[in-house]
Amino acid sequence: MFGLLKRMFEKKESKPERLPFYDIVCPYCFSKFHHEDVVFRAAHHRDDDEALALQEDEALNHYREKFGLAPIDELEAIIHPSMIPDENKLYSDRVLMGVSDKYSVVTRNRLCPECHNDLPVTAGKHPSNIVSIVGATSVGKSVYMTSLIHTLQRKTANNFDAACIPLDNGISRRFRQEYEIPLFENGNLLDSTQKTRRQEPFIFQFVFKDEDQAPLTLVFFDVAGEGMTDKDYIKLHASHIKNSSGILFLVDPMQIRTIREKLIHLMGEKPGEIVGQADEPREVVISLFGDFIAHQENSKTKIPTAVVLTKSDLLGSLAQENGDYIRSNSNVFHNVTHRAHLNLNEFENINGEIRRFLEKVDIAFINALDVYFKDTAFFAVSALGSNPVDRQVNGIISPVRVDEPFIWLLYKLGFIEGRHEQ
């Protein structure tokens, strides 16, 4: 009896919490692997040891060749953890983070085992959440990506007590020089991405100031739109869509045959930037289906997909007080700021309105989405706030609701809450 009472009142020794680890998705080549399968770049080189001499990295140069980048002559050697004794492996929260080589020199420079690019420090400790942007040619992916990142860095991140940070200085410089400065400072409309021009992904991290909150890795692959219906081309980029945690599916009103001619007519003598006839949204869905959705369970993808109607300022031409397509007091034309959480009232209003609009003008597209996607929501954005004329943006660029689809993905992935406002 005494022994029983003693055990009841004795303080139980708490076991250390076993932290989870996650498969890593490389933000460069999008291959998926276990954290023990990473490789390391040696922290030094030795001329007297062939295994640690400077050498060509064939895997890295093969990756660089895909994007038209110059090869790198010599780098420090690759170290495979399988060749390292267990006692020389360094772990943090059960994730392999470093190794000590036979000269007792430690390296923590983890690389993707496929392409040998650097991995984010958080890889393996948190889910590799990747967001992809897809859509047909001339839908405005490059402009939307630029406007979205610009907005995330200057407004949205602060509203969610976070920061939006490029993965490295090279990405930061490339984004500023090739996208942000031409558009936001010079007012020049960005050229459509050419199919022959393969652009390395833009990688940013949405990092919350709360250290207990996992960061979100944003990978924006500026894929040429016409490639989305070219079978061979989409295979090149399919893995980044397949391993995404969220999809931004962009649709241009000018792609929709039933309203294209009407829009052009209503816009009058100076219609601004009008794109040529592009693949219809349904055709892009069919391309995605044939490439990867068909191989998912029940031939549907569970990836949350934000269907984003771009260039929403064009819909002003269709707006009428009791309009067949869109009302003059529509939510589409009012910018909304979400702070600390997704405003579910605003989301439900825009989601319902844009779905009804698309059902009216392109029911075949909606039917295709319903068949192949399990989790969709509908949005309308204007990346610029107005339609460019002669490839120039007049006045100050004022994006409308451009970050809302991304904030919905934050909500769907469990990063933030959604609340109904009183």
Torsion of CA 323, 324, 330, 331, to 10 degrees: 180
Q: Is residue 244 domain-resident?
A: yes
Looking at residue 131, its pLDDT comes to: 86
| Residue ending a domain, choose from 111, 140, 163 | 111
Q: In this structure, are 170 and 105 located in the same domain?
A: no
pLDDT tens per residue, range 367-379:
988 988 899 999 9
Answer yes or no: is 116 within a domain: no
Whether residues 272 and 361 fall in one domain: yes
Q: Which residue has the higher pLDDT, 152 or 271?
A: 152
Same domain? 415 vs 281: yes
pLDDT-based confidence at 240, cuts 50/70/90?
confident
Query: Does residue 12 fall inside a structural domain?
Result: no
Q: How much is the pTM?
A: 0.83
| E-assigned strand segments in 58-177 | 78-79, 89-92, 95-100, 106-107, 110-111, 131-134, 162-166
Assess if residue 18 is contained within a domain.
Answer: no
- Establish how many alpha carbons lie within 13 A of residue 404's alpha carbon, considering only the half-sphere containing its beta carbon: 30
**94, 238: one domain:** no
CATH classification at residue 245: 3.40.50.300
- Whether residue 176 is found in the same domain as residue 325: yes
The whole domain housing 271 covers 131-419
Same domain? 226 vs 322: yes
188 found inside a domain: yes
Q: Same domain, yes or no, for 106 and 164?
A: no
Q: Are residues 88 and 141 in the same domain?
A: no
pLDDT higher than threshold 90 for residue 87: yes
In a domain, 383, yes or no: yes
- 294-338 residue pLDDT tens: 566 667 888 999 999 998 888 876 765 556 677 778 888 899 999
- Please tell me the total count of domains within the chain: 2
DSSP per position, 289-310? HHHTGGGSGGG-B-S-EEEEE-
Domain membership of residue 362 (yes or no) is yes
Domain end call among 111, 141, 170: 111
SS3 call for 327: strand
The identity of residue 320, as a single letter, is: Q
Token output for 123: 């890889």
pLDDT, average across residues 136-165: 90
401 — pLDDT class (breaks 50, 70, 90): very high
Out of 81, 111, 141, a domain closes at 111
Same domain, 44 and 188: no
Rounded mean pLDDT of the chain? 82
Choose the most confident range, by mean pLDDT, from 24-38, 40-54, 189-203. Answer: 40-54
Q: Given pLDDT bands bounded at 50, 70 and 90, which one contains residue 128? A: confident
